[in-house]
Amino acid sequence: MEDLEGFLFRSTILMLVRRLIWNAAWYEERYPGDRIAVIETFERDYLLGNFGFNRRERRELSKLVFDSLDASRRKIPKGVEQKLLNSAKENQQRCQLCGRNIDYSIDRNDELSYSLDHIWPQSLGGESEEWNLQVTHKRCNSKRQDIADVSDAHYEHFHVKHNWSSDERDSFWKELNWQFRIAAAMKADFTCEICKNPEQIDESDGELYFSLMNRDENFNIFNIQVTCYEHLRLPRP
């Protein structure tokens, strides 16, 4: 696990990338149809006006940002989709987010059916190409939303408001638990943090378990340990 400094650095970069792409989309909507004018305005008003980037930096950044914006709109080519799904079915591939089995025979509308997930999120410019796609449950794909990696799931989200009704709190925790689980599993590279043994996980149908390392500390991403069933509830050191 990276240190706090690295985590915050990555987290800030990801926030900036998102802001740049959202703003580029906003300029595009405002000046429809004229890409050159959009890019010029974005560079002048946004990149120069707000950040003071120099000319070369503005050119390079806006190229990257608009390329990402285009990539975020590209659909997965049918051929690529078929190829990946066929091989996933043939190999009975597990969900690459939660690690559990996928039943390839159930109705495609079912949330436990399969889908293709962008490893680097599509909304951040992730390509719809074979190397950037993985098979996951539909459910896990949608619960992941567009989290890029663990530093993108801001741990402060997981313990904010206290004075909610119990209904609000229930649905809040249900949703966040999912994102939290995916983020924590990402942190652990989808293996048990104790034995690092993917075999071990296979025995329990790929399920990963989550526990607090220090029980006196908050429920935050640095205090969560991801393990296989066998290594769950370790005695405290």
List residues near Zn ion by CB under 5 A. Answer: 95, 97-98, 137, 140, 192, 194-195, 200, 228, 231
Cβ neighbours around 169 below 10 Å, total = 13
**CB of residue 184 vs Zn ion: minimum separation in angstroms?**
14
**CB of residue 132 vs Zn ion: minimum separation in angstroms?**
18
Q: What is the rounded CA–CA span in Å between residue 76 and residue 82?
A: 10
List b or e across 125-139, with b for residues whose CB sees 16 or more CB atoms inside 10 angstroms: bbbbeeebbbbbbbb
**CB of residue 192 vs Zn ion: minimum separation in angstroms?**
3
Q: Are 128 and 75 in contact (CB under 8 A)?
A: yes
Looking at beta carbons only, is 8 or 234 nearer to Zn ion? 234
**CB of residue 141 vs Zn ion: minimum separation in angstroms?**
8
**CB of residue 138 vs Zn ion: minimum separation in angstroms?**
9
Q: Are 140 and 95 in contact (CB under 8 A)?
A: yes
Looking at beta carbons only, is 58 or 137 nearer to Zn ion? 137
Q: What is the rounded CA–CA span in Å between residue 43 and residue 59?
A: 7
Instruction: Please enumerate, as own/partner, the contacts of 71-78 that have beta carbons within 8 Å and a separation of 24 or more.
Output: 71/122, 71/125, 71/126, 71/127, 71/128, 72/21, 72/122, 72/123, 72/124, 72/125, 72/126, 74/127, 74/128, 75/128, 76/116, 76/128, 76/133, 77/128
**CB of residue 8 vs Zn ion: minimum separation in angstroms?**
29
